[in-house]
Amino acid sequence: MIDKEYFNYIYSTYSSSILKISYTYLKSSTLAEDILQEVLLKMMKKNIKFSNKDNEKYWIMKVTANLCKDTLKSAWFRKNTELTDNLSYLPKEQEEVLTEVLKLPEKYRIVIHLYYYEDYSIKEISKILNKKQSTIGTWLARGKFQLKNYLKEE
């Protein structure tokens, strides 16, 4: 088990990012909170110590993405109806943009979120998602194009 101080550091540093990425994948704040708990439990059980902050962040984001993908593939997820979250707590402009981002196909919305909201580079995103950098660049460009069109329509 990891010590309490290290756990508090991990939680305060990464919980927001884990929730945002999970929400981008799953479109549900409740499921995003479940993913946060699972990531933290995995970290506690494995008692992982990282050589630097980049490795730490990469591992956490990779585990988060994998857990979200597993959830999306689960029979439980496919059988349940989708609940829409209330985004009214966000400023109006951010609410509109996030609503439009969530309309994008999964591969585009995940890449856009990681790039713009989490400040990952294309190279880092390619590692997290196990895709070529050129693929990530293409998805980012296509996602931006679709998002731009959605926002123009609004």
pLDDT digit string (tens) for 73-90? 877 666 664 545 555 545
Q: Where are the domains of the chain?
A: 1-85, 87-154
Q: What is the pTM of this model?
A: 0.63
**Is CATH 1.10.150 the classification given to domain 1-85?**
no
Q: What is the mean pLDDT of the chain?
A: 82
Q: At the topology level of CATH, where does 87-154 sit?
A: Arc Repressor Mutant, subunit A (1.10.10)
Higher pLDDT, 82 or 70: 70
Tell me the C-alpha distance between 135 and 122, whole Å: 9
pLDDT band at 37 (very low <50, low <70, confident <90, very high): very high
Q: At residue 19, does pLDDT exceed 60? A: yes
